[in-house]
Amino acid sequence: MIGAIEKKLGASTGECFKFILKQMYERTDPWQKECSNPFTLAEIKQLIEKKSNNLDLIKHLDQYVTLIADDPLSFIRKVGDMGGGQYVVDLNRAFEELTLAWFGHVITERYGSKASRIFRIIYMKKFIEQEDLQKEAMIPAREAKLLSYYLFQDQFIQIKTIRKAGGGGTGPAKAFFLFHFKPRQSVRMVLNVCYKALYNTIERSNFEKSEHKRLIEKSQKLDSIVATMKERGESAEYIDEILETLTPPEREILEKVKSRLKTLSKAEITLDSSIFLLQMYLFHTKVPTTLSNKDKKLM
């Protein structure tokens, strides 16, 4: 949340929001769902004056808070005028916006920016036909159909079928296919994929460590010996002799193993972060959510 504010509104605004969250954590039950307990501008000012050296933030605090409250992200909203202004952190809205941005990022990485544009248009229009979609996205018909098919196939979007009777109620029924977005359904689907991917990543990491256990332990032992030798002030020549006990083929294998483990570790952290965001979305948002803007019957 801080990163999103900082990226959009600047470093000082991000720092301001960081102190707002600190105040929220002190005064709000961690499992409170929709919004935080109220806090005042005076309380935030007092906290920032104690713990920040940012003079610009201290001087123009009211403007930074207003900037956050008026931003379309709507992470905070004003609920009263006491203490210079009373605000709450809107957790429901915050996790909706973060999750929507996450979907856009994932779709862009997987299918490209045009697919992300299609997703955004479907989200904004609520329901839209294929022909209107390709016009709005300004993408050639064939490419728009292919990308929307990919999004539907991977359950990022859904299709609503509407049938209407023909002329006079006696002709053959016509079917209209409307693209739309069910966020909770898509989030649960993606969560399931993330759980499986995380399990596979951990299993692969454990396999690499088990398969090359002897070599990894030998390398760790050598690192420990070399560190001790450096502390004792041993000569560089003697240290090089010790390091040479790890043969070139072993060193090559070890470098490849370390590279794979590093990649797996990064993937694990990314998946863990995604799982946390999606779980928080399901916990903090209402049904139906404003993210989907759908009727209850479509949730």
Which H/E stretch holds residue 126? none
71, 89, 107 — which closes off a domain? 89
SS3 state of residue 295: coil
Residue environment code for 208-244, b if the CB has 16+ CB neighbours within 10 A, otherwise e: beeebeeebeebeeeeeeeeeeeeeeeeeeeeeeeee
Residue 295 maps to a domain: no
Residue 294 maps to a domain: no
Do 36 and 116 reside in the same domain of the chain? Answer: no
- How far lies 134's CA from each of 119, 121, 131, in Å? 11, 10, 6
Residue 126 maps to a domain: yes
- What's the pLDDT tens digit per position in 97-140? 889 989 999 999 999 999 999 999 999 888 988 889 888 888 89
pLDDT at 297: 42
- What's the pLDDT tens digit per position in 160-207? 888 776 655 566 667 788 999 998 989 999 999 999 999 999 999 999
Task: Give yes or no for residue 80 having a pLDDT over 80.
Answer: yes
- How far lies 38's CA from each of 33, 57, 63, 81, in Å? 14, 21, 19, 11
- How far lies 150's CA from each of 54, 93, 116, 117, 255, in Å? 48, 28, 12, 14, 38
Which domain does 133 fall in, by range?
Answer: 95-181
Sign of the dihedral through C-alpha 194, 197, 203, 207? negative
Residue 297 maps to a domain: no
